[in-house]
Every structure is written in C-alpha cells, then in structure tokens.
Structure 1
C-alpha cells in the first residue's frame, strides 16, 4: 500500500478515527433501535446490548 502524497495532519486523522468509532457504535446499536419511533426510544432507552436475534450474534457483534 502506498503512503499518501503528503502526511495527514492530526485534525484529519482525528476525524477519521471519530468516524470509524461512530460507525462501529452505530452498527452495534442499530439492530436494537431500527424502525422504532423516537417516542418509543425515549420511553424505552437502550441500556444494554442483547445477544441472539436472527443470526444468533453475541452482544455487540
């Protein structure tokens, strides 16, 4: 793999890291909240991830 033509500055690298972390959190949380209306989630907030589901995944998988 080639290195970028110029070094990445720290601000850009922080944004890349943040987007990757956000993607992982969104993916893990998404299965529990998708298709639920906002009001339902306000009244029933997600406090823990659950295992199982369609694919028999472990918590956070």
Structure 2
C-alpha cells in the first residue's frame, strides 16, 4: 500500500506528486482507511439510504 502523500497519474504512470503538475494529470491521495473499513462504511451508507428510500416510498403510497 502507498504511503501518505499526494500522487499523480499522467500518461499511464503513477508517481509521487512533486512540484507543478500538468493540467491533464490526475492528482489523488490514498485513503487513511483500510479497504475493509471503506467497504464497511459503503455498506452502512447503502443500508441507511435504502431504508430511507423505503420509508419515503411507503409514505408516498399511503396518500
């Protein structure tokens, strides 16, 4: 896994971002979470949003 810091993807290569970067380069930083934490967070968000949609749909169909 990459260390903390900014990285740049340009021309199919990923390198540590140092100094000015081209406008068409993609700058990114690695997350401070583990992949398992990210997946758990995404799953919790999906469940929460799904419940909200279901409750609002039930409200709308009662009218």
Q: Per the shorter chain, which TM-score range?
A: 0.3 to 0.5
Q: Radius of gyration: which is bigger?
A: 2
Q: With a CA cutoff of 8 Å and minimum separation of 6, indicate the structure with the bigger relative contact order.
A: 2
Structure 1-normalised TM-score? 0.40
Structure with a larger share of its residues in strand: 2
Structure with a larger share of its residues in helix: 1
